[in-house]
């Protein structure tokens, strides 16, 4: 549907959560976006986080999961990654706002005297700022529908100003332009043998006490809800039965839009807003899910990091691996390997069964030597290797130490006194005291040099990739590294900054200073991940073939023939 045929006024879908956190509000919001995009509507997504941090950039991944970086360089909540992957629409710094950022903006205005000496309060000043953030997204992207997710759980003190702002927004614009979708939990009690609706009833009551009547209830549960449960929830939540949606657990998040389509979620939203739109074209999405489900081969990737106890710390990386695996009709098994334990000489034991090694981004010294050991193992054992951000710096340090003859080579981030600072701050960065001032964030152009693996992978001379780092390859030592065989196949357009390094005489050894995972899409895997997983899959096939041959070859002992013993082939 063209813009000329679309509604003249932006509509707003507000997604809230109740009972417990981690119900999948972000997936629900992204899936709604996928359905509306499939029906020809333009969408924009926005996430409010109620914590006081101004942004998640300085938060521990153990606390918050990964930091997702937008094209314009904002450090944001990981849910924005879901938004981009599901809708294929880039988010911006306006797409994520925290309570800290809201309060900071209001306090700055107060300090400037913008309020003319008036008393600054949560209502109206904080709530007005929240409403302005919503309008900003709608106006900047000229979207047919803005989908706004509120983090946290209804009843939390932290989220109250946001919910109050949404209540006011609803009053300002009217019901015909605002819709509230409440995601809640319907637990199954094993000892009672039944689903319980009371938590959902109480959650809706809490929302209505604030002044918000939900228009749709999304019920998260282990299994699909029956009509009796839906009718009961509809009665107590004061919504029509057809607006009670069953959202059961699925084994793949990309199935959620298809589940929502079966439940008629998009139809109910269009009905609420009085919008006419073509039927959704989900053929590409259905083909994607089919590739995931029908993947016959398996490939094991060892992800060597230091936040491995929380998978969400590397969410975009694991999703990008999955995209690449689906492209090759293979299932990617990600083995999280704590880099700290690799420093104790367990590298070969930990990585021997891996078909590929990936070292993702990170900050700080902990676990660095283990990552260097993993990079060396991948290089010397011809195991496909992909380094991302810090992973590229690790690869450079390892190469400098063991190939280029720079004993003790390191990054000045980890060893300021290293004799060979192959990774360092640029000279102009060293005078900047504010760490934020030295961080390189967002999309920058990358020049891909001809006659390199990177050029063959991308097929383009210039690409734009997202960055989040502070340290760079030291140009004073770069020529020495290149003479030893390291190829700098991607640079900044002025060739001052190294963006990609590779080793030509290796099945696949590529590392990037940028974060390719942020631009990978389920139906369009990032080229670096696509080729890395392809190389790892080829290694897996070779190992399986070797295992099968070993199993078929009888072992001879003296004059007799011993039974064949099947070699362990990882699948």
Q: Which residues are catalytic?
A: 389, 515, 517
Which conformational region is residue 174 in: left (phi greater than 0), alpha (psi within -120 to 50 degrees), or beta? left
In Å, the largest CA–CA distance within the chain is: 101
- Consecutive H or E run containing 17: strand 11-17
Within 10 angstroms of residue 400's Cβ, the number of other Cβ atoms is: 26
Backbone angles phi, psi at 468, to 5 degrees: -160, 80
**158 vs 165: CA distance, rounded Å:** 13
Cβ–Cβ < 8 Å for 96, 102: no
Backbone angles phi, psi at 204, to 5 degrees: -65, -40
Structure tokens at 180: 């509230």
Cβ–Cβ < 8 Å for 254, 284: no
- Consecutive H or E run containing 205: helix 198-210
**3-state class of 159 per DSSP?**
coil
Question: CA dist 497 to 472, 488, 489, 493, Å?
Answer: 7, 10, 11, 8
**Nearest alpha carbon to residue 44 among 96, 4, 7:** 96
In 222-307, DSSP assigns E strands to 244-248, 297-305
Structure tokens at 484: 């030893």
Structure tokens at 330: 């293979």
Reported as half-sphere exposure (CB side, CA atoms, 13 A), residue 366 has a value of 8
- As a 3-state breakdown, the chain gives helix, strand, coil percent values, each rounded to 5, of 45, 20, 35
Question: CA dist 484 to 300, 396, 508, Å?
Answer: 31, 11, 18
Cβ–Cβ < 8 Å for 134, 96: no
**392 vs 481: CA distance, rounded Å:** 14
Which conformational region is residue 451 in: left (phi greater than 0), alpha (psi within -120 to 50 degrees), or beta? left
Beta bridge partners of 180: 14
């Amino acid at each position: 549907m063209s813009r000329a045929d679309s509604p003249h006024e932006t509509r707003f879908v507000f997604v809230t959560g109740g009972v417990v956190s981690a119900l999948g509000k972000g997936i629900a919001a992204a899936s709604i976006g996928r359905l509306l995009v499939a029906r020809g509507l333009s969408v924009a997504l926005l996430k409010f986080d109620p914590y006081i941090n101004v942004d998640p950039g300085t938060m521990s991944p153990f606390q918050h999961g990964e930091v997702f970086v937008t094209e314009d360089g904002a450090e944001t909540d990981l849910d924005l990654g879901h938004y981009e992957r599901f809708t294929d629409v880039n988010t911006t710094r306006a797409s994520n706002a925290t309570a800290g950022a809201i309060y900071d903006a209001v306090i700055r205005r107060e300090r400037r005297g913008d309020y003319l000496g008036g008393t600054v309060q949560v209502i109206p000043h904080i709530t007005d700022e929240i409403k302005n953030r919503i309008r900003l997204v709608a106006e900047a992207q000229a979207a047919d529908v803005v989908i706004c997710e509120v983090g946290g759980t209804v009843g939390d003190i932290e989220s109250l100003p946001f919910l109050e702002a949404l209540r006011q927004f609803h009053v300002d614009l009217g019901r015909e332009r605002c819709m509230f979708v409440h995601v809640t939990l319907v637990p199954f009690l094993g000892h009672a043998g039944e689903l319980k609706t009371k938590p959902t009833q109480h959650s809706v009551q809490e929302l209505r006490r604030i002044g918000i009547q939900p228009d749709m209830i999304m019920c998260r549960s282990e299994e699909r809800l029956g009509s009796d449960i839906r009718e009961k929830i509809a009665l107590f939540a004061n919504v029509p039965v057809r607006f009670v949606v069953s959202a059961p657990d699925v084994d793949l998040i990309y199935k959620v839009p298809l589940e929502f389509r079966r439940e008629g979620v998009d139809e109910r939203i269009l009905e609420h807003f009085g919008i006419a739109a073509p039927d959704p074209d989900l053929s590409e999405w259905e083909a994607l899910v089919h590739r995931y489900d029908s993947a016959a081969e398996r490939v094991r990737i060892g992800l060597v990091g230091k936040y491995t106890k929380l998978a969400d710390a590397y969410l975009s990386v694991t999703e990008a691996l999955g995209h690449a695996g689906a492209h090759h009709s293979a299932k990617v098994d990600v083995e999280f390997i704590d880099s700290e334990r690799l420093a104790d000489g367990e590298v070969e034991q930990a990585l021997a069964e891996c078909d590929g090694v990936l070292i993702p981004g990170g900050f700080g010294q902990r676990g660095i030597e283990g990552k260097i050991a993993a990079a060396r193992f991948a290089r010397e054992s011809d195991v496909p290797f992909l380094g991302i951000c810090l992973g590229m710096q690790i690869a450079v340090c390892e190469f400098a130490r063991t190939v280029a003859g720079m004993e003790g080579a390191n990054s000045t981030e980890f060893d300021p006194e290293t004799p060979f600072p192959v990774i360092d701050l640029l000279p102009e960065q060293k005078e900047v005291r504010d760490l934020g001032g030295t961080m390189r964030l967002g999309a920058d152009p990358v020049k891909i040099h001809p006659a390199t693996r990177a050029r063959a992978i991308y097929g383009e001379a210039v690409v734009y990739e997202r960055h989040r780092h502070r340290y760079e390859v030291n140009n004073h030592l770069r020529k020495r590294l290149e003479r030893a065989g390291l190829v700098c196949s991607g640079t900044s357009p002025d060739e001052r900054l190294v963006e990609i390094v590779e080793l030509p005489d290796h099945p696949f050894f590529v590392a990037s200073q940028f974060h390719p995972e942020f631009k990978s899409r389920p139906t369009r895997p990032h080229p670096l991940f696509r080729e890395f997983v392809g190389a790892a899959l080829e290694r897996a096939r070779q190992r399986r073939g070797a295992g099968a041959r070993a199993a078929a070859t009888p072992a001879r002992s003296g004059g007799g023939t011993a039974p064949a013993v099947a070699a362990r082939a990882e699948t």
